[in-house]
């Protein structure tokens, strides 16, 4: 029997979060296409996402439950990865990648950095100084960027000689519920307290739409969203907004909505947009950095609006509300994204790069 290549995916944890979801999805994708996968978690925290059967999980015991112990982490990472002896290591997050490079110094390990943050994201001075110093001294084997714009930024950061490949996030299978009727709901998904999600911009746009029969629903995060509620109250639309809080299973929520809007100021990769499109929703996105132009074919399977143009966003939402046929056509065409970003397709692309 042919020996399977061994891959180690290093991520933050299995708790709720965008990077956590992306790293778990990737580990599951690589497992699906027949490789031996270990998920090494930097933190030991409450699990929200689930690894598939066959993916081994390694979590620190006695440290890294709330804060990062760098010295203990370096020893633990080196010990476990030397024992695993993987063919390639894929690390999520620039700072975690820098620590893995230090931990595995002298081992000749093949270390690939999966850059998940928006190209516009700025580290604080301390972390950026550590990153710069380590990447000046130690070089990764390659970089995985999620979008074409991100790849341009990463090439400037890491240097022209480091191989860079654009590979988007794998999309988990999104379930459809034909028995659920779509309602007059505009849906947004994400952390309420994160200003980069731009939910304040969506609330302002929603206050300008013509119809008062539609509801704006926010799903995700365990925050109360007081700032957003205060904004909505001042605009006189709080009675038309619903905050669902943390949602374990988003698929029925996608099935119930008719329009999905992502008003972000920036993203590493808009996972929720991909899920909404796969669920057959008519989607509208601001033209932020980075992601929408790699995902939406404007005017064919969704709408891209000038970034920050609140009036244009309101007009786009109105257009979707008023034209049911357009909503349904966009939604049907958007479903094709599920195949483009399937676990098997992304898993094979990833393996072609990291095992080449």
Please give the pLDDT value at position 3: 59
pLDDT digits (tens, 9 = 90+) for 146-167: 898 889 999 999 998 999 999 9
All structural domains of the chain with their residue ranges: 6-170+341-354, 185-339
Mean per-residue pLDDT, 2-20: 88
Q: What are the distances in angstroms from CA 302 to CA 44, 53, 73, 288, 316?
A: 39, 35, 44, 15, 10
Compute the residue count for the chain: 356
User: What's the 3-state SS for the chain?
Assistant: CCCCCEEEEEECCCCCCHHHHHHHHHHHHHHHCCCEEEEEECCCCCCCCCCCCCCEEECCCCCCCCCCCHHHHHHHHHHHHHHHCCCEEEEECHHHHHHHHHHCCCCCCCEEEECCCCCCCCCCHHHHHHHHHHHHHCCCCEEEECCHHHHHHHHHHHCCCCCEEECCCCCCCCCCCCCCCCCCEEEEECCCCCHHHCHHHHHHHHCCCCCCCCEEEEECCCCCCHHHHHHHHHCCCHHHEEECCCCCCCHHHHHHCCEEEECCCECCCCHHHHHHHHCCCEEEEECCECCHHHHCCECCCEEEECCCCHHHHHHHHHHHHHCHHHHHHHHHHHCCHHHHCCHHHHHHHHHHHHCC
Question: For residue 285, what are its two tokens?
Answer: 């996105």
Query: Which of the pair, 144 or 16, is modelled with greater confidence?
Result: 144
Mean per-residue pLDDT, 342-346: 91
Mean per-residue pLDDT, 184-210: 95
pLDDT digits (tens, 9 = 90+) for 226-273: 799 999 999 999 999 999 988 889 999 999 999 999 999 998 889 899
Confidence of residue 16 (pLDDT cuts 50, 70, 90): confident
Please give the pLDDT value at position 194: 87
User: Which top CATH class is 6-170+341-354?
Assistant: alpha beta
Confidence of residue 4 (pLDDT cuts 50, 70, 90): confident
Please give the pLDDT value at position 301: 97
pLDDT digits (tens, 9 = 90+) for 266-293: 988 898 999 999 999 999 999 998 889 9
Which residues, in sequence order, are bridge partners of residue 259?
186, 282
What is the rounded CA–CA span in Å between residue 310 and residue 140?
41
Confidence of residue 223 (pLDDT cuts 50, 70, 90): low
Please give the pLDDT value at position 1: 37
- Cβ–Cβ under 8 Å, residues 336 and 72: no
Share of the chain above pLDDT 90, in %: 81
6-170+341-354 and 185-339, same CATH topology? yes
Please give the pLDDT value at position 178: 92
Please give the pLDDT value at position 284: 98
- Tell me if the domain spanning 185-339 has CATH number 3.40.80.10: no
pLDDT score of 61 more than 60: yes
């Amino acid at each position: 029997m042919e020996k399977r290549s061994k891959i180690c995916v290093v991520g933050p944890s299995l708790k709720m979060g965008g990077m956590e979801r992306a790293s778990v999805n990737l580990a599951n994708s690589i497992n699906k296409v027949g490789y031996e996968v270990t998920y090494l978690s930097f933190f030991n925290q409450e699990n929200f996402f689930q690894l598939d059967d066959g993916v081994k999980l390694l979590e620190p015991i006695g440290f890294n439950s709330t804060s990062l112990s760098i010295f203990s982490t370096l020893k633990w990472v080196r010990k476990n990865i030397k024992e695993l002896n993987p063919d390639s290591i894929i690390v999520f997050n620039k700072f975690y990648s820098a620590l893995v490079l230090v931990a595995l110094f002298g081992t000749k390990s093949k270390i690939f950095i999966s850059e998940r943050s928006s190209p516009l994201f700025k580290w604080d001075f301390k972390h950026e100084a550590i990153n710069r110093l380590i990447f000046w001294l130690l070089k990764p084997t390659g970089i995985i960027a999620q979008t074409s714009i991100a790849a341009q930024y990463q090439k400037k950061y890491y240097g022209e000689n480091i191989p860079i490949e654009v590979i988007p996030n794998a999309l988990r299978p999104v379930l459809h519920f034909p028995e659920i009727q779509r309602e007059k709901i505009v849906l947004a998904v994400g952390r309420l307290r994160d200003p980069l999600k731009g939910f304040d911009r969506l609330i302002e746009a929603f206050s300008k739409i013509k119809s008062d029969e539609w509801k704006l629903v926010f799903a995700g995060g365990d925050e109360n969203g007081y700032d957003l509620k205060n904004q909505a109250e001042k605009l006189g639309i709080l009675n038309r907004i619903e905050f669902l809080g943390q949602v374990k299973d988003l698929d029925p929520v996608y099935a119930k909505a008719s329009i999905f809007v992502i008003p972000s100021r920036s993203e590493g990769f808009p996972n929720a947009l991909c899920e909404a499109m796969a669920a057959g929703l008519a989607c509208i996105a601001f033209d932020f950095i980075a992601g929408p132009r790699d995902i939406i074919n404007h005017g064919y399977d969704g709408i891209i609006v000038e970034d920050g143009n609140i009036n244009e966003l309101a007009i786009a939402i109105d257009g979707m509300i008023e034209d049911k046929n357009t909503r349904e056509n966009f939604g049907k065409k958007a479903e094709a994204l599920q195949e483009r970003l399937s676990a098997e397709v992304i898993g094979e692309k990833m393996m072609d790069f990291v095992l080449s």
